Amino acid sequence: MSQAATSSATGHGNTGLASLPDIPLNKKHIWIYIVGALGYFFDAFDILLPSYVIPLISQQWHLEKDALAWFATAGFLGMAVGGFLFGSLGDLIGRKKAFMGTVLLYSVFSLLCAAAPNVPLLFLFRIIAGIGLGGCLPVDMAMLSEFMPPKWRGKLMTILGVFWVGGATAVGFVSAWLSKYQDFRLIFIAAGVPVLLIFLVRVKVPESPLYLYRKGKVEEANRILREVHGASIDASQLFSAQEDTDKQSGSVIKGIFSSLIKVWKHSPGTTFMVWYAYASVLFVYYGVILWLPKILIASGYQTTAAFLFTSYITLVGLIGVLFSIYLVDKVGRKWSVALSFVFMGIALYAFAFALDAPTSSFVLLGIYDMFESIALAILYVYIPESYPTLLRVTGFGWATAITRVTSAFSPLLFAAVWGGMGLPMTMFFSMLSLILAAVFIVVFGKETKDKLLS
């Protein structure tokens, strides 16, 4: 909400609200937060799912490495479509419909992956499940950003990193437990069934008051503002300053691509910085993590041991998330992310020279994952805050879509460079990419700590 709108609201005699940032955290906020955070948990669960499904598919269907890499790519391509599709739809048709639709699509097609009788159908179902999964992140982040009190928003959005680490770790432990059955289908079932239950819970989450106000449903917007924030707030006072910027027209498809133009017109420097930083951190991460179990198994590890090793590495990310909760408001968004990128790159490059020392390699990979968790947790706060309300879902959605596209080719490119130039040079290029992202953040990024959403 804009500062002007906030000032108007706080000066209105009947609002019953002293200052928007003074809204206390209540049970309704926490309930909405948990519902959104569970979607985030399974977002991480599914993104790392190929790490554990790939070795089992290889054993059951005897697929070559190239085909397995394309399986990982198929999911990311679906996520790319879902990122810009649902990201834009969240601004066009409403947060709640997108909030529910993403998890339903993902859950149904994950269960169909478990029932796939052949490779082509498995790949097709994985792409469609990816569309639902790709839409979860931008919609959920924007939804939570708009409902959480400004005073608590930074901490709560950063704590979401705990759910990410939980999902990324849980998929490893669940896969390790199910690996004794040597059936990849069980992992898809473990991913799809809980998300179907989350869909049923999301039905009760209210629509965004801003969206309702834009549709002329002022009384309903006022009712939800009262129910969620526990105070009498006038939607007209809060949102009227933004009303003339809301000129949605034309078809959904036209709206989706016009939203891309709006994102770049709003701030080319911000959008470039967001796209590059977000894409680079996940491109490197997926290149390393998605192939790690397969590499360990090829090196002589038992399947269960390889899965557990990867899970322990992702679990180290919890330390980074806990640090990020402190850093996000003490150091700020901009510098916390930029410095994390630098330390991430250095640790990863050093790891390439420590493979002969198991303890050192484990520690260095853990340090990399810790700073990766810090960067990602704070980015998920920083990116939505970098855009105004009417572009928040769209801005994050397009950033997510671009990131999914680049991530789609990460397993392929990472394996090719590693095989052709060796691990040290692969990690050197990775470090260079991450440090360059830090430079762009410093140059183009603006600090959003303690700022009201505009």
The verdict on 306 and 236 lying in the same domain is no
The verdict on 74 and 221 lying in the same domain is yes
Give the pLDDT score at 302.
80
Rounded Cα distance, 287 and 278, in Å: 14
* Residue span of the structural domain in which 241 resides: 1-17+232-246
454 occurs within a structural domain: no
280 occurs within a structural domain: yes
Give the pLDDT score at 55.
83
The verdict on 59 and 179 lying in the same domain is yes
Give the pLDDT score at 50.
85
| pLDDT category of residue 451 using cuts at 50, 70 and 90 | low
279 occurs within a structural domain: yes
> What is the chain's Cα-based Rg?
22
Rounded Cα distance, 235 and 228, in Å: 13
Q: Write a three-state SS string for the chain.
A: CCHHHHHHHHCCCCCCCCCHHHCCCCHHHHHHHHHHHHHHHHHHHHHCHHHHHHHHHHHHHCCCHHHHHHHHHHHHHHHHHHHHHHHHHHHHCCHHHHHHHHHHHHHHHHHHHHHCCCHHHHHHHHHHHHHHHHHHHHHHHHHHHHHCCHHHHHHHHHHHHHHHHHHHHHHHHHHHHHHHHCCCHHHHHHHHHHHHHHHHHHCCCCCCHHHHHHCCCHHHHHHHHHHHHCCCCCHHHHHHHHHHHCCCCCCHHHHHHHHHHHHHHHCHHHHHHHHHHHHHHHHHHHHHHCCHHHHHHHCCCCHHHHHHHHHHHHHHHHHHHHHHHHHHHHCCHHHHHHHHHHHHHHHHHHHCCCCCCHHHHHHHHHHHHHHHHHHHHHHHHHHHHCCCHHHHHHHHHHHHHHHHHHHHCHHHHHHHHHHHHCHHHHHHHHHHHHHHHHHHHHHHCCCCCCCCCC
Phi, psi of 448 (to 5 degrees): -115, 10
452 occurs within a structural domain: no
CATH number of the domain to which 424 belongs: 1.20.1250.20
Higher-confidence residue of 242 and 77: namely 77
302 occurs within a structural domain: yes
The verdict on 221 and 369 lying in the same domain is yes
| pLDDT category of residue 24 using cuts at 50, 70 and 90 | confident
The verdict on 112 and 252 lying in the same domain is yes
* Domain end call among 187, 221, 246: 246
Higher-confidence residue of 411 and 177: namely 177
The verdict on 63 and 10 lying in the same domain is no
Q: What is the mean pLDDT of the chain?
A: 79
The verdict on 56 and 125 lying in the same domain is yes
261 occurs within a structural domain: yes
Give the pLDDT score at 124.
92
| pLDDT category of residue 19 using cuts at 50, 70 and 90 | very low
Torsion angle, CA of 207/209/212/218, rounded to 10 degrees? 140
The proportion of the chain whose per-residue pLDDT surpasses 70, expressed as a percent, equals: 85
Give the pLDDT score at 15.
36
Higher-confidence residue of 450 and 200: namely 200
Give the pLDDT score at 8.
35
450 occurs within a structural domain: no
Give the pLDDT score at 272.
92
Least confident segment among 266-275, 277-286, 356-365: 356-365
pTM above 0.75, yes or no: no
Residues 47-65: pLDDT tens digits? 888 888 888 888 888 777 6
pLDDT above 90 (res 103): no
Mean of pLDDT values over 180-208: 86
The verdict on 149 and 4 lying in the same domain is no
Residues 203-262: pLDDT tens digits? 888 887 777 877 777 888 888 888 887 777 776 666 654 444 444 444 555 666 777 788
pLDDT above 50 (res 342): yes
Most confident segment among 84-98, 179-193, 303-317, 439-453: 179-193
Mean of pLDDT values over 93-111: 85
Residues 393-437: pLDDT tens digits? 678 778 877 887 788 788 788 878 877 887 788 889 999 999 999
* Domain end call among 215, 246, 277: 246
The verdict on 264 and 392 lying in the same domain is yes
* Domain end call among 189, 217, 246: 246
Residues 276-314: pLDDT tens digits? 999 999 899 888 887 778 766 766 678 787 788 788 888
The verdict on 168 and 242 lying in the same domain is no
Give the pLDDT score at 247.
45
Mean of pLDDT values over 18-37: 76
Higher-confidence residue of 147 and 350: namely 350
Residues 106-125: pLDDT tens digits? 899 999 999 999 988 999 99
The verdict on 420 and 289 lying in the same domain is yes
pLDDT above 90 (res 371): yes
The verdict on 10 and 136 lying in the same domain is no
Give the pLDDT score at 391.
75
Domain count, the chain: 2
451 occurs within a structural domain: no
